[in-house]
Structures are given as structure tokens and as C-alpha cells.
């Protein structure tokens, strides 16, 4: 039904400070623990405020995919609707120049609330970072049609959005580099080599793709598989026999610290699942942002982010995974070389600072 939510109330609406900025922008986001908000709406709003624009952050409460156990699932969903009605009143009173919709308001097939916002605002931007249309195709079609502009996290999402709206821009999921310090170079004597993965517990099963290579490598090298996720339950179904591994519970405030302890990052994805094709490569970008070399499946946008042998490695077969990881395990200079180029890639193409102008261009375009 959904995840349990924290009962801590940090306010569903956070008005920006008064300023003489050019625009008033309302961000309808999913919650500060939801990746689409954490890596798109919130850092963009922060940068826009610094530039003098007036931004209001309106969060789902409880957060979009959460519920309060003490209140119950259905009452929690009703509370979300009440909070969004309050945001609707706010939108009508303040007459924002732009309203940015993070994916959708509710994780269900309904569109009635979004239609109310459409009638109340001057310009509506739909921001999409995942294949939400695979769950609710009719809903996505309606949202894309009613939006003045769709911002897609990659070209695969953009192609789908253009089926319903010709005003589509690709702006990748970005990293706020100020939050990701560059990792210190290895001294060559560190052991074991930590091969790390970070993500949602629902995606832990993807590690089965690389597990055979890790089992082989563990016979020849001192390695440790480090898994950072919200739950360890999916690990029971992985065959990691002979692979030393450590599970670390995910905490948002500590995730960068955990990534900095890795020597190598992993992003395996199955090629035969539709959902993975539309992912925006977030964990890959997180590794690269701190200067980590990563090995990833060439699925979806991963094949565009990673330039094989220059800023990371791409691998499909067990042999390819084994060879790529082995090359990095034994060669600290190679890890440094690829990691340095990886961070340079993020800085030049996938940082919030670089892509902010593209958001402004979309926000300031005249509505048709």
C-alpha cells in the first residue's frame, strides 16, 4: 500500500523569502525524501532563489509514497488531498507565473486535482524523471496534454511525452556538486576494495546481474560488497556465497558519506524490463560526482552517461562485469583516472549549475 511515513511535520508549504526576482514559481513536489524532488525540484528551487526568483515549495504530506501507521492508509491519503486543496487555494491567491508539477500529485490513476490546478494557473510545467506512464498510461497522457511544457529527464521519456505534447525539453537529473566533495585518491595500500551499490530496496534484486562476477572475483581478490538501502530483506534472495558484504541502512543525510567510502560503484540494470529503460541514472551520477569509477549496464541513459573506458565501464555479460571490475580492483591509478573524468562529466553535463539556464528557458517561454 505504501511506506510508513515519519510523523514529523515540517510543513507542506515553504514560501521563499521576499525578493525582487523576475518570477514567482510554485513547486508541487513529492516530498524531500523522494528522489524526483531531492534531485530535481528542490535543488532547482534553491538555485532560483539565489538568483532572485520567488519560489514556494509545496510538499505532499505525508510524502507521496508514504502513509502514517497511526492514522492508517486511507486516512493518510485523504490528508494528502486536503493538503493539496490548500496548495490549490494558495495557487489561486498568489497567481504564480509558473507551477511545476513533480510527476503527478497522487500515486493513483486520478487527474481531477491536476485539472483544478491547470484551470487556476498561468503556466503548468510537468517534470518527469521516470516511466510513470507504465503504471498509469491514461493519466500520463492527460497530464502531458494539459501541460504547457514537459521537462523529461532523458530522451526516452521525452520521446514518450512528445506523443501527447510537442513542447518537450530534455533536462537530465542533476547533481548539486557542492554537496558531493571529490573523493581523496587511494594510496594503493587500502584493502579490501569496497564495491558499492546505493538505491531503493526494490532495486536490490538487480544485483543478481553482477553477483556471478562478484563470486568469481572474491576467490582472487580482497573485496567487500557494500549495499546501502532502506531494507535488507531483498538480500535473502541474492546468491552472494563467498562474497563478503555489508548492509548499511540508507539515511539521506549520510548517503554522500557512504558513497565516499566506496572504491567502485555499481549500477546493474536488466535489459528486458521496460521500467529500467526510462531511469535517469541517478546512482551512477552520484558515484561519478565524488570521483568514483563505476561499472554499469548499458541500459537506457546509462549508455549515454558512461563513455566506456574513459569515465567508467559498461558491462553486459558476466565476463564483461568480471573483467571491468578486476581492472579497477587491481589498479588504483585506473580508478583515479576514470573517477576524475567521471566527476568532470558530471560538472560539465549533469550539474544543477550547468542546467539551471535550461530550466529558466522553459519557465520563461510564453504559453501557447
Q: Which of 13, 121, 113 is nearest to 58 (CA)?
A: 13
Comparing CA positions, the residue from 225, 224, 196 lying closest to residue 288 is 196
CA distance 127 to 100: 7
Residue 1 pLDDT grade (very low, low, confident, very high; cuts 50, 70, 90): very low
CB 193 within 8 A of CB 329: yes
Distance of alpha carbon 74 from its chain centroid, rounded? 27
- Evaluate whether the domain defined by 178-349 bears CATH number 3.40.50.2000: yes
In 3D space, the residue among 75, 63, 78, 85 whose CA is nearest the CA of residue 3 turns out to be 63
The CATH code that applies to domain 3-174+351-364 is 3.40.50.2000
CA separation, residue 76 to residues 25, 62, 65, 327 (Å): 27, 7, 10, 50
Tens of pLDDT, residue by residue over 289-339, are 999 999 999 999 999 999 999 999 999 999 999 999 999 999 999 999 999
Residue 97 vs residues 36, 258, 292: alpha-carbon distances, Å: 22, 39, 40
Domain coordinates in residue numbering, the chain? 3-174+351-364, 178-349
Cis ω on the peptide bond leading into residue 62 (within 30° of 0)? yes
Q: Which residues pair with 294 in a beta bridge?
A: 265
Kindly report the number of other CB atoms within 10 A of residue 218's CB atom: 20
Domains 3-174+351-364 and 178-349 share a fold: yes
pLDDT of residue 368: 66
- Could you give the CA distance from residue 21 to residue 18 in angstroms, rounded to a whole number? 9
- Residue 228's nearest CA partner among 193, 203, 209, 208 is 203
Residue 98, SS3? strand
pLDDT bracket for residue 2 (50, 70, 90): very low
Coil, strand or helix at 97: coil
Asked if residues 246 and 228 have their Cβ atoms less than 8 Å apart, the reply is no
**What is the reported pTM?**
0.91
Cα–Cα distance, 104 to 102 (Å, whole number):
6
Provide the mean pLDDT of the chain.
Answer: 93
Q: Reduce the DSSP state of residue 150 to 3 states and report it.
A: strand
183 in Cβ contact with 291 (< 8 Å) = yes
- State the Cα–Cα distance between residues 346 and 178, nearest whole angstrom: 12
Question: Is the pLDDT confidence value at 265 over 80?
Answer: yes
Question: Sorting pLDDT into bands at 50, 70 and 90, what band is 190?
Answer: low
Average pLDDT for 351-366: 94
Tell me the per-residue pLDDT of 149-189, one tens digit each, with 9 for 90 and over: 999 999 999 999 999 999 999 999 999 999 999 998 876 55
What are the phi and psi torsion angles at 118 (to 5°)? -55, -40
Half-sphere exposure of 61 toward its Cβ, with a 13 Å CA cutoff? 17
Percent of the chain predicted with pLDDT > 90: 90
* pLDDT tens readout for residues 193-238: 999 999 999 999 999 999 999 999 999 999 999 999 999 999 999 9
**Cα gap 192→189, rounded to integer Å:** 9
* Residue 42, pLDDT score: 97
The values of phi and psi at residue 163, to 5°, are -65, -25
Phi, psi (rounded to 5 degrees) for 216? -65, -45
The three grid cell numbers given for residue 204, joined into one nine-digit string:
536490490
**102 CB burial (10 A radius; 0-12, 13-18, 19+):** buried
- What stretch of H or E contains 113? helix 112-120
Predicted pLDDT at 189: 57
As a whole number of angstroms, the distance between CA 195 and CA 327 comes to 13
Q: What is the pLDDT of residue 367?
A: 75
Amino acid at each position: 500500500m505504501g511506506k510508513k511515513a515519519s510523523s514529523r511535520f515540517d510543513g507542506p508549504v515553504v514560501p521563499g523569502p521576499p525578493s525582487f526576482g523576475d518570477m514567482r514559481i510554485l513547486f508541487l513536489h513529492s516530498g524531500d525524501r523522494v528522489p524526483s524532488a531531492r534531485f530535481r525540484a528542490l535543488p532547482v528551487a534553491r538555485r532560483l532563489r539565489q538568483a532572485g526568483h520567488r519560489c514556494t515549495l509545496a510538499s505532499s504530506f505525508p510524502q507521496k509514497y508514504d502513509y502514517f501507521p497511526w492514522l492508517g492508509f486511507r486516512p493518510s491519503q485523504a490528508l494528502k488531498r486536503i493538503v493539496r486543496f490548500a496548495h490549490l487555494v494558495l495557487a489561486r491567491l498568489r497567481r504564480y507565473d509558473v507551477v511545476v508539477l513533480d510527476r503527478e500529485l497522487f500515486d493513483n490513476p486520478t487527474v481531477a486535482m491536476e485539472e483544478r490546478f491547470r484551470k487556476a494557473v498561468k503556466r503548468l510545467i510537468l517534470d518527469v524523471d521516470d516511466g510513470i506512464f507504465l503504471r498509469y498510461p491514461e493519466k500520463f497522457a492527460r497530464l502531458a496534454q494539459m501541460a504547457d511544457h514537459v521537462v523529461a529527464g532523458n530522451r526516452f521519456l521525452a520521446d514518450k511525452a512528445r506523443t501527447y505534447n510537442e513542447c518537450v525539453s530534455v533536462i537530465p537529473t542533476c547533481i548539486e556538486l557542492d554537496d558531493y566533495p571529490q573523493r581523496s585518491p587511494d594510496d594503493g595500500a587500502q584493502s579490501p576494495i569496497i564495491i558499492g551499490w546505493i538505491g531503493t530496496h526494490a532495486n536490490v534484486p538487480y544485483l543478481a546481474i553482477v553477483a556471478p562476477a562478484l563470486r568469481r572475483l572474491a576467490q582472487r581478490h580482497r573485496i567487500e560488497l557494500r549495499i546501502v538501502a532502506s531494507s535488507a530483506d531483498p538480500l535473502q534472495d541474492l546468491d552472494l556465497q563467498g562474497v563478503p558484504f555489508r548492509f548499511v541502512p540508507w539515511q539521506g543525510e549520510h548517503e554522500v558519506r557512504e558513497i565516499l567510502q566506496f572504491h567502485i560503484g555499481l549500477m546493474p540494470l536488466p535489459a528486458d524490463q521496460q521500467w529500467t529503460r526510462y531511469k535517469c541514472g541517478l546512482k551512477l551520477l552520484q558515484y561519478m560526482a565524488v570521483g568514483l569509477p563505476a561499472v554499469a549496464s548499458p541500459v537506457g541513459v546509462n549508455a549515454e552517461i558512461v563513455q566506456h573506458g574513459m569515465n567508467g565501464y559498461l558491462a553486459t555479460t558476466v565476463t564483461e562485469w568480471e573483467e571491468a571490475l578486476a581492472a579497477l580492483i587491481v589498479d588504483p591509478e585506473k580508478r583515479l583516472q576514470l573517477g576524475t573524468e567521471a566527476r568532470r562529466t558530471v560538472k560539465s553535463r549533469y550539474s544543477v549549475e550547468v542546467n539551471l539556464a535550461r530550466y529558466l528557458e522553459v519557465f520563461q517561454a510564453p504559453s501557447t
